[in-house]
Amino acid sequence: MSSSSPVEIQPTHLVTTGLNDDRRSFWLLMLFALLFLGAGIGLRDPWPSDEPRFTLAAKQMVESGDWLFPHRGTQLYADKPPMLMWMEAATYEGVRSWRIAFLLPSLLAGLLSIALTFDLGRRLWNPRVGLFAAGALLVVFQFVYQVKRAQIDPLVMGWITLANWGLLIHFLRGPNWRMYWLGCFAAGIGVITKGVGFLALLMFVPYLFARMRGWEVTRTNGKTMHWLGGPLAFVLAIALWLVPMLLTATSRGTAEYAAYVHDILFHQTAGRYSESWSHPQPFWYFVPVVLFNWFPLSLAYPGVFPRWRNALRDGDARILLPLAWAAIVLVFFSIPVGKRDVYVMPLLPMIALAMGSYLEDIVATRWLRLSAWWIALIGGLAIAGLGVWALQGHPAAAQMAERRGMADGAVAVWWMTICAGAAYIVAALAFRPKRGAHALLAGTAVFWCVWSFWAYPVLNDSSSSVGIMRHAGQLIGPESDLGLVGWKEQNLLMADRRARDFGFLSPTAQQFALATRWQAQIPEHRWVFAIEDAIGNCVDRSRAQRVGVANRRTWWVYPYAAVIPGCVPVPAADANKPDESGM
């Protein structure tokens, strides 16, 4: 008599009902994600520091028809490959609104990452694990904040997650060569998005380790040509941009295009990694990022670490591969001196996946429920208290509003802060400690809605520079020509007319001299818009007009008559400082 347990056969209608419930849950999650992440689209323009740069390049692609080489004004822009700019330009061609188009690539990348995380959880465990993993990704602070912005990193995360999706299906539920080739191709697309897309291929390291240790992974012997198809797909994806770019740059044969090729292929890739020249940070910089920027997912760390240890001890490759890959990439980004918190965004879907099978149990624990509840209550009191403090007219709050050029809108900002804090307090009181996680998530959802529908329109004029550029246009009149000196990308992007620039990377003294010669040709119709620190003492302020403050900078417009003859401005260091985010 067999001692094995009998296999329970579920009725077909129960299985079908379960599948329908899983599909319904998935599509409800995706609908919520679309509404949640897409909230506020169309209510603001690009905000510094990165958004105006990419949108300006995309806008110039559409206007000039040159989609192969991004420009920043009259100069080539070689800091990043053109993928994000292509996608912004392509979405603009579809919706014909830059306010909508510039945010769509990040939104689509976020939705793709959520869907792929769910699918991996479903394939490797079950649909409920997929829902917990995808839901956990959706609520992470860094994920939401960045997907609501038009930077390259959400797009890189999307491509790397697609690459990991294909590789993990092949490595853990294969062989599936089409998924493997797709994963390698997506890694190549990630390379022409930012350069670090190749990091997805580091998934081979834990896979080979698990295979050598005899863990349960895909084994494919005698398939050399199939394996070689992966590197071929990777190179093919890169060649889609690299080959036409090199051929066109060579055919144009100028020093400017030669410098572009060298800069984007060497200086901005290996050079940036080995000799970081911006954002210097210590080796342990990402420790607080994974603790605080990944909140509230980070609340589950104490519960998941012992479970990860047990899973690795038992040889569970489903945990090893995404977790080890994330650790390798974290070390990779920790080595160079230059670091930014957004670098580790591609790790988030894999961390959420590795946590997914444990989250239901962890969320039900008493310590997590109480921790989440107290954080919601105390955090709400602190946020609301900040708003009340600012409304009392404290000088520090008034100075902050003035520096950001939003003195008229500051009261609305402080009331917005009070409402955001009140949302957490109300959620904590409504759900009570027994459902502390619900309280924290509900308060956070309202916080993001307040941010999207209230902060966007209130802060947009000062943060995007649309207000300062509108005022500049009013001061000089509709018939005047406008030149830019010491300008930032948002100034050219938000100008109310076609503006003339004199180089972006050129020294501001050189820009000033070129602008003066340009004004002298038609002095009665040509005005210059300039940052205060770029014009020094070479402009008679009594004949110029102060436009105002935006992004912590003071701006002026002046006619040719205000220029002091023979004067060469000595700009302050502030003229070249990085853009502020507008936050």
Q: Domain end: 432, 464, 496, which one?
A: 464
pLDDT at 409: 55
Same domain, 337 and 418: no
Mean pLDDT value of segment 444-469 = 92
Same domain membership, residue 518 and residue 407: no
- Residue 440 pLDDT greater than 90, yes or no: yes
pLDDT band at 13; cut points 50, 70, 90: low
Q: Confidence band (pLDDT; 50, 70, 90) for 31?
A: very high
Is 13 domain-assigned?
no
User: For 27-34, which contacts have Cβ atoms below 8 Å and span 24 or more sequence positions?
Assistant: 29/114, 29/118, 29/131, 29/134, 29/135, 29/138, 30/111, 30/114, 30/115, 32/138, 33/110, 33/111, 33/114, 33/138, 34/107, 34/111
Mean pLDDT score across all residues of the chain: 91
The predicted pLDDT at position 579 comes to 57
**For 355-369, how does the pLDDT look when each residue is reduced to its tens digit (9 = 90+)?**
999 999 999 999 999
DSSP conformation letters of 348-381:
HHHHHHHHHHHHHHHHTSHHHHHHHHHHHHHHHH
Same domain, 187 and 330: yes
- Give 574's pLDDT tier (boundaries 50, 70, 90): very low
Q: Which of 121, 214, 102 is nearest to 161 (CA)?
A: 121
Q: 12 Cβ partners below 8 Å, 6+ apart? A: none
Whether residue 49 is predicted with pLDDT greater than 90 in this model: the reply is no
Residue range 417-442: mean pLDDT, rounded: 95
Over range 210-234, report the average pLDDT.
92
Same domain, 480 and 337: no
Six token digits for residue 298:
């980070």
Residue 6 has pLDDT above 80, yes or no: no
Domain stops at, among 464, 493, 519: 464
Q: How confident is the model at residue 3 (pLDDT cuts 50, 70, 90)?
A: very low
Looking at residue 8, what is its pLDDT?
44
Residue 272: the pLDDT is: 63
Whether 348 and 385 share a structural domain = no
Three-state DSSP class for residue 558: strand
β-partners of residue 338 are 280
Q: What gap in Å lies between CA 153 and CA 156, rounded to an integer?
A: 5
Q: Which of 324, 341, 363 is the last residue of a domain?
A: 363
- For 317-329, the DSSP string reads HHHHHHHHHHHHH
The Cα–Cα gap between 413 and 406 comes to 9
Q: Is residue 504 part of a domain?
A: yes
- What percent of the chain lies above the pLDDT cut of 90? 80
Domain that holds residue 549: 466-576
Residue 148 belongs to a domain: yes
What is residue 16's predicted lDDT score, i.e. its pLDDT?
57
pLDDT of residue 581 exceeding 90: no
Q: For residue range 338-349, what is the model confidence (pLDDT) as tens digits?
A: 899 999 999 999
Positive/negative CA dihedral, 583, 135, 39, 150: positive
Sheet of strand 553-559, all strands in order from the earlier edge strand to the far edge: 500-501, 481-485, 526-531, 553-559, 545-550
Beta carbons within 8 Å of 416's beta carbon, 6+ residues apart: 387, 450, 454, 455, 458
Quickly state the pLDDT bin for 268 (edges 50, 70, 90): confident
Whole-number pLDDT of residue 580 = 46
Whether residues 377 and 428 share a domain: the answer is yes
Q: What is the pLDDT of residue 110?
A: 98
In terms of domains, do 190 and 339 share one?
yes
Do residues 83 and 195 share a domain? yes
Phi, psi of 76 (to 5 degrees): -65, 145
Write down the pLDDT at residue 273: 63
pLDDT of the residue at 9? 46
- Flag whether pLDDT at 276 surpasses 80: no
Q: Does residue 78 sit in helix, strand or coil?
A: coil
In a domain, 7, yes or no: no
Mean pLDDT for the stretch of residues 552-564: 94
Rounded CA separation 168/184 (Å): 11
Residue 10 falls inside a structural domain:
no
Residues 352 and 383 grouped into a single domain: no
- The confidence band for 4, taking pLDDT boundaries of 50, 70 and 90, is very low
| pLDDT on residue 396 | 76
Q: What is the pLDDT of residue 7?
A: 38
**Which two three-digit tokens encode residue 441?**
């998530």
Poorest-pLDDT segment among 1-10, 300-309, 345-354, 477-486: 1-10
Query: pLDDT at position 223, please?
Result: 86
Same domain, 445 and 560: no
Q: Are residues 520 and 394 in the same domain?
A: no
Average pLDDT, integer, range 435-460: 94
Task: Work out the pLDDT band at 23, boundaries 50, 70, 90.
Answer: confident
Number of domains in the chain: 3
Residue 11 in domain: no
Shortest CA distance to 49 belongs to which of 488, 393, 574, 565?
488
| Residue range 241-260: mean pLDDT, rounded | 94
- pLDDT category at 19 given cuts 50, 70, 90 is low
In a domain, 1, yes or no: no
pLDDT of residue 569: 87
Confidence of residue 124 (pLDDT cuts 50, 70, 90): very high
Copy the structure tokens of residue 516: 């003066």
What proportions of the chain, in percent to the nearest 5, are helix, strand and coil? 70, 5, 25
pLDDT exceeds cutoff 50 at 583: no
- Taking only the tens place, the pLDDT of each residue in 366-410 is 999 999 999 999 999 999 999 999 888 777 776 777 666 665 557
**pLDDT, tens digit, for every residue of 297-319?**
999 999 999 999 999 999 999 99
Tokens of 368: 């997590």
Q: Is residue 166 part of a domain?
A: yes
pLDDT tens digits, 521-536: 999 999 999 999 999 8
Same domain, 161 and 297: yes
